[in-house]
Structure 1
Amino acid sequence: CGARSHPMAVTQKDCVPTKKKAKGWDAQKDSLCQTYFEACAQVACTANSEMVRQLVRRAQLLAPLPHHRTQGLSRHEMLEAAFAHLDVDGSGELQAHECMTFCRSINPAHSEREAREMMAWMDKDDDARISKPEYMDAMEFLTTILSDEDFEHGILETLAAKPSIADLPSREVKLLALFQHLDTDGSGALDVDELLAVSNDANPAADYKAAKAQLAWLDGDGDAKVSAAEFVEAMTFLTGYLSDEDFDTSLAEQLAYDSFTYKCGAAFLGQKGVLAMLPALRVDQKFTSLILRGCGLHNEGVAALAAALSGHACIAHLDVGDNPISEGGVAALVQLCAATPSLKEVLYDGCYFVRGWSDISSNVDPDPNTGGAPLRAAIERNRNPPPPPLTGDAAVAALDVGALLVSRRLEVKALFYQLAGADGRVSFGKLRDGLAAGGEAWGVLPSHLVDFISPAHIFRFASRGDGDGAGGGDGSTLSYAEFARALRSEKARAKVLEAFKRQRVQLKVLFYSLAGVDGELTLGKLAEGLKGALEEQ
């Protein structure tokens, strides 16, 4: 993307020749390509055809509905495209599991029974299959009652529908569903671009060479494309060792996973070319990898890059290797890592600050950024972030209340006797009102413990102890020793509550397995269940 210098204002027409506008660039309003073209005019550089191609593909993947697959088609052709999309196994007929996908494209809440009812309505010859003519006849009425816009929207929703792995009957059909998902242009074959997207899921640094090697291995007939049959044959071989459960889980993850790599290193953009890409990258908050290797990026460009991607939600991999970035650009990369927790990998080999080329004077103290130590530390912090601070029940459960009462016994005693009466004992009402009022005196205890303390539990615990607290009501009182013992019990209560939150599903299963069909757990059933568990162990 070569820089252009103009004595007069540069227009978008100057920077974006018609031949640079790849098919589909304007398929959507405010497209990524339009953003890129406007930025090219602002920085005065010619649009790069490779980046336009990638932006067009990315816009297609981001679109909630695949408008590029219906562009220029008649209503009849749209119906044919919808049938081909639903016919996952390519048999030329729709079976029950394929009709399920169709029903859920209309209403995600549709059940299998409703899918079979719709199937029966379309199945004129009662052979439990929907042929293409039957489907076209059943859908023909839509061409007469719907406007062009509504008709196309219905077709687009069908084309956007993905089958549920659980609905599909065999591994072959499930692999065909994955093939259909990867075939983003609906051509019926995977090309290098689509295989490159698969490679990038495993390795963001994968390049066209790797994708072509993958294509050559999968392409049995040598036509430079991978057909559905070739894909299924190869993937059946590769996944044969997986159990059915692991196989389904793997395919479901691949159908749900959304990753994308911008490969700016595929063409030498230059600093201005990179700057022109930044507005589009800022708009796309879902891409996962960005490769800028060998793009001529300097410190100024790195600063702009960091500002554009700071706080990005999904980027995990950034490659700025082989760029003339000196020690002055390291700080921007460190700031980018600090502001973007998702960024777990940054490649910077071949940059000037690694080679030390900018250290030209032996009289100057070594620059701490030489070698990239601060950047390595920032990446490591993202890879191994500190655990989030505990709050609420979890914070109290982790608190050593006994040690706290020892280390702050004088302050806690002073707090207690502020609340106590002349007899040195505190009533339920005084403790309750004191907690409600708060104040500086309670600062001797951690705020999460103060928030957690329950006067009712404190007095209930004390009433079961060896002390003389009567427990439970407004007329009962506690000595300091009873109060301290009860306060320690709050830690145990917090542990129980935290366990219930973390394992509520397992505890529900346990409860109802003990309770039986009536859903009521008696002491006898609980004792019997515990005895059985102990005997097993």
Structure 2
Amino acid sequence: MGAGCSSEHGVATNAAPVAKAASVKSQPAAEATTPSPAGTPPAASQPSRASVDDFLEEEDTPAKRDPEARLEALHRCFDALDKDKSGTIDFKELKQYLFKTGVNISLITGKAEELMAKMDLNSDNLISRDEFTHMMEALLVGKTDEDLEVWVAEVVFTATSRNVVGFGDSLGEVLSGLDLTTEQVSTLKDCFKQLDRNSSGFVELPEVKALLGRSGMDMEHVSEELNTIMLKLDKNGDHKISEQEFFVTLCAVRHSLQDDDAFKRVLDNFLVILKSGAADTPMLASVLLTDQVA
């Protein structure tokens, strides 16, 4: 994203897998291991998001380890990251998690590639349970069982929360963090309204599919194109696109084009096609299908 388009809460670093954000010091397990209900923004007493790098920098006093408890904790962490319960963590799931931790949208793809390269030991582009636990056990071997539980609670809380860092509770809060002009905001709201045919407040997969289906794309490849576009727009993986997600992604599109006039042409073209029902491929779809937009 361009200036003002990144999350206010975090920027990608070279932190080791898997989490990203502020350092967390040891705290009583009873306070740190009880995540709030999904969808509730973290309060001061709730787990904060900690990176493995910060976690490993803390001093540790050698203590007796419980191998079974440590393995069980890492399995809980893996299960929270494995959103589709396939038994592996794929590239999309890595990106979804990184987005929730507040990594700058324009850096998410590169960061996910780094993590996949470090953890995917057999190079099948998937992180198995064994690969995950092997890597994390090696990284966290010097930590006490209590500290490990704190870290796992933070990762599980972040991965399972439906509140996405940078989205806030309203579209207004999101817009306050995005460097968009009044005209751009107005046009984007119009685009979203036209996409949301049933006025549900979300753009759902059938609505995107209908747009692509009439756009002249090769129908044999619509599923592939649809998955790519949904991956870009559906940041929290709930199979629908909120206004917040739409605005965050379109801000990334604006940055990738590096030209407000070009961005205006893309939006104007999109609106014309949406309102007229023309059987043309929207310029926006073509932009989202490139690797320039995370």
Alignment TM class, shorter chain as reference: 0.3 to 0.5
Higher relative contact order structure (alpha carbons within 8 Å, sequence separation ≥ 6):
2
TM-score, normalised to structure 1, is 0.21
TM-score, normalised to structure 2, is 0.36
Q: Which has the higher helix share?
A: 1
Larger radius of gyration: 1
